[in-house]
Every structure is written in structure tokens, then in C-alpha cells.
Structure 1
Amino acid sequence: MQIHGQAALVTGGGSGLGEAVARALAAAGARVSVLDRNAEGAQRVADAIGGRAFTCDIADTASLQQALDGASAAHGTARIVMNIAGIGTAKRVIGKDGQPAPLEDFERVVRINLIGTYNVVRLAAAAMARLEPLAGGERGMVLMTASVAAYDGQVGQEAYSASKGGLVSMTLPLARDLAQHGIRVVTIAPGLFETPLMKTLPDAVQQSLAASIPFPPRLGQPEEFAALALHAVTNGHLNGETIRLDGALRMAPR
């Protein structure tokens, strides 16, 4: 599927990897709607790329549906859906005080990362399925963002790894389910990237993390993630697959 002229949604588009994807889509000629809980960030990116900004919580159906309706009214039904929104956390099962981790923390991460992403997919795909097919029968594609933590999560990453592992496991059945509608599903599992969250860490910590990557021994650039995301759109035979983007990184236990 060609990107130029298509309507696109980017959740988590107000910063980091989502911002890079939104900018790349706009540069390729897409009409981009930026969805984010951070209204200021979403508006900043939308203004920069000539897109539209919508504030929403992807785990809240009413909030999300309102944003999707607004995006559709502005740009038409999206054929390109980029799920980048998510949160990270680390908390040991048993704390230093000997107490079990709060269940609410686990539920929150899974609700946003896994259930929230599924919420976007189910609502956006239902609208996409009503579109006229393009050449070859394709109606659109959906991208999800997992993490290398889905495969080698570190100490304290039970909730994060579970949520991202759920996305990896969901990729193939979603692709099979949506195949009858001409909708492809691809997931990217990024490693360590230079995002605003990463930049909050001390320089020494960032350098140590970068040195743990075999090659190239540096943090990934958001633009590299965006380049793969756009390739997933244009490569019509890429479907039902999760791609690690990590410089051959395999994370240690801690």
C-alpha cells in the first residue's frame, strides 16, 4: 500500500517513537491524526506536520471513539493505524519491605499497553473493513509496538513484559482474523531507543545501556523505528509477524 494520500492514525504520537512515526508519515504524504493523552504534545506534533491532534485514553472506549470519530471527520477513515502508545514500569514481585507488589500497578500496565492497543485495533479495524479495497484487495494495515522485554524481560518487568508479550502473541491471530477483510497486522519489538524517557536517565546510565548493544553500540534512533514502521505499510507481503529492532540486544536479568 502506498502511503501518499492515505489517512493515518498514530497513538502516542505526541512524543518519542510515536512522534517520529507521525513525522515520517506526514513527510510521505499521509494525512496524519496524532492521538495522545498529552494534549500539548499531540498539538505540538500536529502543528509541525500539518496534521490534527486528538486527546484520548486508548483504554477508555468512549474517549478513544470520540478521537477516532474526530480523526475520521477530518481526514477520512484511516487505512494506516500505528499503535505506539504505552507505558513502562518496573516493580519487583516482592518489595524490599517484604510486601507483595500492588496488583493495581500490574493491572494498569496491562490495561494500557495490551487492552488499550486491542481497543484501538478493534475499533479502527471495524471502520477500515467498510472501506473499498485497494489494488490486490488490501484495505489497510495495523502496526503494534511490543518490546524486546516480551522475550527477555528484566527483573521487575513482569507487568511490562506480560503486556508486550501479549501483543506479540496477538499478532498472528489478529492477522489471520483480519485477513478476510484485507487488513494486515505487523508488530515491531524495539530495544533501547533514544526517547524522552531514556533521556531522563543520567548520561552514564545511557552510555552503559548503549554499550550493552552488540552493534551498533548505541541507542536506537526514533527515525529508525519510523523507517521500519513505514516499510511495514508499503511491503504488502509483510503480515502476522513481529520484528525485533534492537541491534542484536539480548537483555541481561538486571
Structure 2
Amino acid sequence: MRNTGMTNDLMERASAMALDLCAARVDPNEAQKALAYLRAQKDSKAYFAYLQAIGNNGRAVIRSNQTIKYYSHLLEASQQHLCNLSPPNMVLILAWAIRLLRYYNAVPEEERQPLDVVHVPTPSSDPLPSPAPSRPPSATQSAPARPSPSLAQPAARPPSAPSPAPPAAQTAPPAPPASIPLPGEVFSGEVLEVDEDAVAVKVKNFNPKRVIGVIRAETIPDRNTARYSAGNTARVEVVAVQQKGNRTILELKPAPKKKARS
């Protein structure tokens, strides 16, 4: 599992921001452009000025009123969830918010109820067992000191908050549902269908009716789609992500094979 660098607080912010963007029906592709600008500038003031400029003067270069509304909603969500943060943390939160936004758009709400764990973690519930070791009498009562670990067992949760392990354990579960690959990412998927014009590739952990990958013939050397066979595995790189109705389509291209370890 990848090391996201996300703390519990940052993940909660990302989840809340994703829900706001989803409710406002913000296009994740437009949000991705704002993320690219933030990554390039590494300046929070420049980022907010960029969104403000599009919201106020966007009609000079953007014909679609809907697109301008996307940026207005994105500015509002950014002011609520990204203010007073360092640029690196802003990038982390916005990137994860976009991942979750794509997931929310692709999966019906009733099917993503388990995702509530992303923004519901309650650190206040874990410290309950911790008072035992903090009591002064613990130094004189060596025998009762042992039952304290057993208190954590009925809770069926990671260790109490003072341990550095719980944040990692709590932030790890959101990774699978938010694993729609982004442009530039490489993954391996099962080939579902092949014809002269394209190759359909399954995206792991997603129903092909919701999320599907497509390798266009023009991205394959000599347009030779016959090099792929249904049932085999294809190593691909994401070129772009498109939303068509309730379906997410990943535009793919062949990726180099992994180099064998010497």
C-alpha cells in the first residue's frame, strides 16, 4: 500500500472538500487543472488569485458559464478547507479530494456507504484506555498494569491515540475506494475486449460499467491491437480521464514493461 503522507486531519479535510465539490457538481477535470496550477506555483496566494480571476473575469477567455461556476465553487471549497495551510499540504488535500470526487461520481451513494470511515474517525474515542498508564498509583500496582492492553482488544481498533500507528491505520482504508488512476500513473489491468480500433482494459476494484480503461489504436505501434488478447494482462499508462454520464473512462497508452531485477 502506498505511503500517502496524509495525516488523519488532512484526510478529514480532503473527504469534506470532496463531498462539497460533489454536491456542487464540480467537474473533476477542471479541478485537476487547478491542482496542476497549485503544484507548479507552490504559492497559496497565487492559487486563490488564480481561482478568483477566473470567477471574476473568466468570460473573457471561457465561453461556458458552467465552467466558470466550477471555478467559483472550487474557490469557495478551497477557502473553506485549504486556508492557512502550507502549499504542500494544500496539494495533498486537493489531490485526494479530486480522487474521492471521481469515486463519488462513479459510484452510487448507496454503494459507497463504507466510505464514511474516511471522514468519521473520532480520535476522542481512542484515548479512553490511556488514563490507566497515566495514573500515579500504576507504579505501585505492577499486577493491574497488565490488564490495560486488554482494554484495547474489545474495541477492535488500532492502538490508542498516543501511538503513531493509529493515524496510518486510519488513513490507509480510504486508498482502495479512491484508487482511480490519475494521468501519468501506470497500472496493469485485465484485457476485456479487443477490436481494430481499441482495447478495453479493466481497472482493478471497479465495475467496468462504472470505470473502464481504453487503449486507442493510434497509441499502439502500427495500430496493432492484435498484440493484445482478452483475458491477458496489459501494462498501461493513464493519459486522460473523462466523465461520460455515470461512467468514468480512462484514456490509456501502452506502458514499458517493468525492468527485470539484476
TM-score (structure 1 length as normaliser):
0.26
Instruction: Flag the structure with larger Rg.
Output: 2
TM-score (structure 2 length as normaliser):
0.26
